[in-house]
């Protein structure tokens, strides 16, 4: 096998080992309670740009001996729309991300990030216990080409009276940037070690030589596109009349209009309940295992029936 092919395959196989939970939201969901509810729940609403992304695993548990990958994303604050920020940069912890061995853990209700993206974030106040965004992916709004999109990339077309989304989505914006895992980390994965050992034998190259070329030529960052959500079109085989044309949506809101709506709701709901807590990528953190409740069986005595009742039941059954 050619080494160029080896490098490409190692990177691809290493990066796309994706573990995803079941989809819990639709891209067209506007979240619970509309924009007013999101503003009320937010300890901070800010407009910012992604300037740093790092990944760390939570502490090992019985169910997750390697811990669960989390994303530590840092934003340069460009404008504050609600609450206060302790610094010009804000770091948040979001579930999902790279596991450090080339694998990717995706959480369906959490957003993915790439450097340079600009967003409006609704950040929850108080201690960090899970996703730091209000309703997680629903608490992120993308700013792209002077348009406001929801966390999935669907245009936001109304925000003052109700929060409404619709129109042509930009799923191509849903990307995750995964740093290149170390060669040593790849060898700790049984599947990758078996593959690399086979390549080493076929190419008659030592692991040391393969590692040197991997470190020299493999890309430092690989972009994983999470936006391929094209569903097959099924032919309508019913005899129902043709459906009415789909709703035609207005143009997506501009950032200025969206910001004005946030400021209006901010005046109505009052001050934030609690300030935000900055995530620290250097601190260890725990994610508890899902609690499994045992089912308790109860012995309940069956109701007693008389001989007359039993005879009556049998007689009725015989008549059927």
Mean pLDDT calculated for residue range 89-110: 91
pLDDT, residue 32, reads 53
Buried b (16+ CB within 10 A) or exposed e, 191-225: ebeebbeebbeeeebeeeebbeebeeebeeebebe
pLDDT, residue 66, reads 87
pLDDT, residue 11, reads 52
Mean pLDDT calculated for residue range 206-212: 92
CA distance 8 to 4: 6
Buried b (16+ CB within 10 A) or exposed e, 119-145: bbbbbbbeebeebbbbbbbbbbbbbbe
Q: Token pair of 101, please?
A: 């061995």
pLDDT, tens digit, 9 for 90 and up, residues 140-166: 999 999 999 999 999 999 998 889 999
Nearest to 75 by CA among 59, 62, 92, 100: 92
pLDDT, residue 7, reads 54
pLDDT, residue 254, reads 98
Mean pLDDT calculated for residue range 4-17: 50
Percent of the chain with pLDDT over 90: 55
Looking up tokens 């450097």, which residue turns up?
115
pLDDT, tens digit, 9 for 90 and up, residues 183-205: 999 899 888 899 899 989 998 99
| Between residues 16 and 275, the one the model is more confident about | 275
pLDDT, residue 106, reads 85
The pLDDT-based confidence of 48 (bands split at 50, 70, 90) is: very high
Minimum mean pLDDT among 17-31, 71-85, 214-228, 243-257: which range? 17-31
Minimum mean pLDDT among 47-56, 134-143, 159-168, 258-267: which range? 159-168
Mean residue pLDDT across the chain:
82
DSSP 97-135: EE-SSSEEEE-TTS----TT-EEEEEEEPSS-SS-SBTT
Buried b (16+ CB within 10 A) or exposed e, 4-20: eebbeebbeebbeeeee
Question: 108 pLDDT exceeds 60?
Answer: yes
The pLDDT-based confidence of 223 (bands split at 50, 70, 90) is: confident
pLDDT, residue 136, reads 96
Nearest to 45 by CA among 123, 144, 130, 133: 123
Question: 285 pLDDT exceeds 70?
Answer: yes
pLDDT, residue 22, reads 38
CA dihedral 205, 210, 216, 219 (to 10 degrees): 130
Question: 319 pLDDT exceeds 70?
Answer: no
The pLDDT-based confidence of 235 (bands split at 50, 70, 90) is: very low
Mean pLDDT calculated for residue range 35-41: 95
Q: Token pair of 55, please?
A: 């990944």
């Amino acid at each position: 096998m050619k080494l160029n092919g080896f490098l490409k395959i190692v990177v691809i196989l290493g990066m796309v080992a994706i573990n995803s939970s079941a989809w819990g939201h639709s891209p067209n969901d506007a979240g619970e309670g509309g924009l007013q509810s999101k503003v009320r729940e937010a300890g901070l609403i800010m407009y910012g740009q992604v300037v740093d992304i790092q990944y760390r695993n939570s502490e090992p548990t019985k169910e997750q001996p390697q811990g669960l990958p989390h994303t530590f994303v840092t934003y340069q604050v460009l404008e504050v729309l609600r609450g206060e920020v302790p610094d010009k940069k804000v770091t948040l912890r979001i579930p999902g991300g790279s596991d450090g061995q080339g694998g990717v853990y995706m959480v369906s209700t959490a957003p993915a990030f790439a450097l340079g993206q600009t967003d409006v974030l609704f950040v929850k106040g108080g201690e960090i216990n899970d996703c730091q965004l209000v309703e997680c992916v629903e608490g992120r709004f993308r700013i792209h080409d002077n348009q406001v999109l929801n966390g999935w990339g669907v245009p936001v077309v109304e925000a003052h009276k109700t929060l409404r989304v619709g129109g042509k989505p930009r799923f191509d914006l849903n990307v995750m940037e995964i740093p290149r895992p170390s060669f040593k980390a790849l060898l700790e994965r049984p599947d990758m070690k078996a593959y690399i050992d086979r390549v080493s034998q076929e190419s008659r190259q030592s692991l040391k030589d393969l590692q040197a070329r991997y470190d020299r030529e493999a890309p430092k960052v690989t972009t994983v596109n999470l936006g391929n959500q094209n569903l097959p079109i099924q032919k309508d085989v019913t005899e129902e009349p043709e459906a009415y044309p789909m709703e035609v949506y207005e143009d997506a809101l501009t950032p200025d209009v969206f910001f004005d709506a946030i400021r209006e709701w901010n005046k109505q709901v009052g001050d934030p309940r609690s300030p935000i807590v900055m995530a620290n990528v250097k601190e260890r953190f725990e994610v508890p295992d899902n609690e499994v409740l045992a089912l308790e069986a109860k012995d309940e005595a069956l109701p007693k029936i008389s001989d007359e009742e039993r005879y009556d039941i049998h007689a009725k059954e015989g008549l059927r």
